[in-house]
Amino acid sequence: LAELDLNRGESWVYAYLSMDPELLRIHTTGLDFHSETAAIIQSVFGSEELSAQEIAKRTKEGDPFAFKLRFLGKKRNHSSAYRMGPFRAAEQVNEEADETNITVTPTQMKDAQRLWIGKYFGIEVWWDEIDRKLENDRFLTTSYGRKRDFFGFMNDALKKEATAYEPQSTSVDYLNHGMLRVYDELVESGHFGLELLHQNHDSILVQYPKQHRDQVIPEMISRIESVININGTDVTIPVEATYGLNWGDYHKERNPEGLRDWVA
């Protein structure tokens, strides 16, 4: 099996929609978005001061404190970009507490949101643009030309729904266009014995004879990655791949045949 997914597809889209300089720097230089955010908000959740690079490195090494910080950075990235309030943001973290052993309070998430906005200040400018479009036109159009009308009352719920629309729609369209190229150019022609199994919102799952792994994965990546114009800029959202003999995540002891990172 191999699973190919977009490397933070939605955040690539809203980085260019907002043209926030810090978001653009992180994405175009290959930094870890979640660790970068974790370094900014860590004062809310603990006293230990770690750099973004240290958080990323120690997370990979299995350090529980670094994992906690990066996990909270990831959660805050998603919830903050789409204007989620502190109570719901805390609820989302706490829903996974049985698995992660991480809990937070709404006050902590509110403080983290303030720090997040301070780092990525261009996001609020993008929000204002969305609100103006809703007030004037009542529709938004994505980079793929997909138009959506918003008929609800002009309230916070509608604004949040509209904010998430273009990043989510665009990232899925980007993946689906690539998936069609994979099917048309590789699957249908019988290359490598490749079979397309599943589309999972931001990833696709395939299977192939094991001996073709290092041939088929680059061929798929080259067909999924493409250039899309977002807010006047040509952008290529990168694709990552994992491989294994089952769909579970790799673990040295619990699942040694699970999906692990593929490196070119």
127-174 pLDDT, tens digit each: 999 999 999 999 999 999 999 999 989 999 999 999 999 999 999 999
Rounded CA gap, 247 and 261, in Å? 13
Sign of CA dihedral 185, 188, 193, 198: positive
pLDDT in tens, 216-227: 999 999 999 999
Rounded CA gap, 208 and 4, in Å? 13
pLDDT in tens, 26-58: 999 999 999 999 999 999 988 668 999 999 999
What's the mean pLDDT in 109-126? 97
CATH fold group of domain 1-20+121-264 = Alpha-Beta Plaits (3.30.70)
What's the mean pLDDT in 82-95? 96
pTM for this model (two decimals): 0.93
Rounded CA gap, 140 and 121, in Å? 22
pLDDT in tens, 177-231: 999 999 999 999 999 999 999 999 889 999 999 999 999 999 999 999 999 999 9
8 A C-beta contact, residue 89 and residue 75: yes
pLDDT in tens, 238-254: 999 999 999 999 988 99
For the chain, helix, strand, coil in percent to 5 are: 55, 15, 30
Helices 9-18 and 64-81, packing angle to 10 deg: 50
Strand partners, 30: none
Rounded CA gap, 140 and 167, in Å? 12
Which pLDDT score, from 0 to 100, does residue 47 have?
62
8 A C-beta contact, residue 213 and residue 2: yes
pLDDT band at 237 (very low <50, low <70, confident <90, very high): very high
> Tokens in use for 251?
């673990």
Strand partners, 148: 140
Residues of the chain with CATH 3.30.70: 1-20+121-264
| CA atoms within 13 A of residue 72's CA, in its CB half-sphere | 33
Residues 6+ apart with CB under 8 A from 71: 34, 100, 102
Per DSSP, 151 falls in state: -
Which pLDDT score, from 0 to 100, does residue 7 have?
87
Helices 86-94 and 64-81, packing angle to 10 deg: 140
CA 140 vs CA 112, 148, 151: distances in Å? 29, 6, 12
